[in-house]
Amino acid sequence: MPERRGRAALTVEEAYQAYFPRIREKCRRMMQNTGDAEDVAQETFVRLWQAGLQDAPPRRVVGWVYRTSTRLAIDRMRRRRAAAEFSCEETLLRLATAVPLEREVAQREALARLVGQLPADELEAVFLHRLDRLTQPELAEVLQISERTVRRLLSRFEERLEKLREGVA
């Protein structure tokens, strides 16, 4: 990883080494299809480079990467027909009742199925919270919204799950 060199601009190779592995891992956490994950990671890096962000403070770049790749991944998953093949209730139920051992995989699969059925802002927050483990202050920073809005988005999602848990019990 290259260290920052004052105001010197990063070369594309340095930027790639610094950011792409992190982008790719982030995309793999979100997407079941490795080809899709690779595509979204590539698209995110291309956008980062074309926007000239590689020379911005790393804190800002990493936040931008999390925000942008999440949105791109949701867009891509929304275009997939499979997303519409499961009912919202069925998918939420699986998420609500997953046992700990399978929770990580279940969450990714279930969230992927919800992309066409829940509001985008709620999905972004839930993806970042559940798959990337972002805290509420981190979510607020990455999504550029208030912590109050973060809490509202996450609460709305948890309420959906809670209703389903109550129905099962």
Partner 1 sequence: MSPHGEHPSFLALDSLKWGRGTDEVRTHVAGCAACAAHLQTVERPVEVPAWARGLKQERPWGWLFGGGRLAWGGGLAAAMAVLLVVVLAPRPPAPLPSEDVPKPYVGPKGEPVVVVHVRHGEHVSRWDGTQPLLPGDRVRLEVAASGYSRVLVGSPTPDGGFVTLYTGALPEGGALLPASWQVDAEGSGEHLVVVLSRAALAPEVLRRVLAERGGPDVWVTDLRLPKQTAP
Residues forming the site for partner 1 (CB under 8 A): 1, 9, 11-13, 16-18, 20-22, 25-26, 29, 35, 39, 42-43, 45-47, 49-50, 58-59, 62-63, 66, 129-130, 132-135, 138, 142
Between the CA of residue 116 and those of 26, 77, 88, 140, what are the distances in Å? 21, 8, 9, 23
Q: Is the Cβ of residue 68 or residue 91 nearer to partner 1 in the bound state?
A: 68
CA distance linking residue 135 with residue 118, whole number of Å = 21
Nearest approach, Cβ of residue 35 and partner 1 (Å): 7
Q: Is the Cβ of residue 87 or residue 155 nearer to partner 1 in the bound state?
A: 155
Q: Is the Cβ of residue 45 or residue 86 nearer to partner 1 in the bound state?
A: 45
| C-alpha R_g of the chain | 17
Q: Is the Cβ of residue 58 or residue 119 nearer to partner 1 in the bound state?
A: 58
Nearest approach, Cβ of residue 41 and partner 1 (Å): 11
Which DSSP symbol is given to 6? T
Nearest approach, Cβ of residue 10 and partner 1 (Å): 9
Both tokens of residue 14? Answer: 């340095």
Q: According to DSSP H, which parts of the chain are helical?
A: 12-30, 34-50, 58-79, 88-97, 100-114, 120-130, 136-143, 147-168
Q: Is the Cβ of residue 87 or residue 144 nearer to partner 1 in the bound state?
A: 144
For residue 123, give the nearest of 87, 88, 80 by alpha carbon: 88
User: Contact, 167 vs 96, CB < 8 A?
Assistant: no
Nearest approach, Cβ of residue 52 and partner 1 (Å): 9
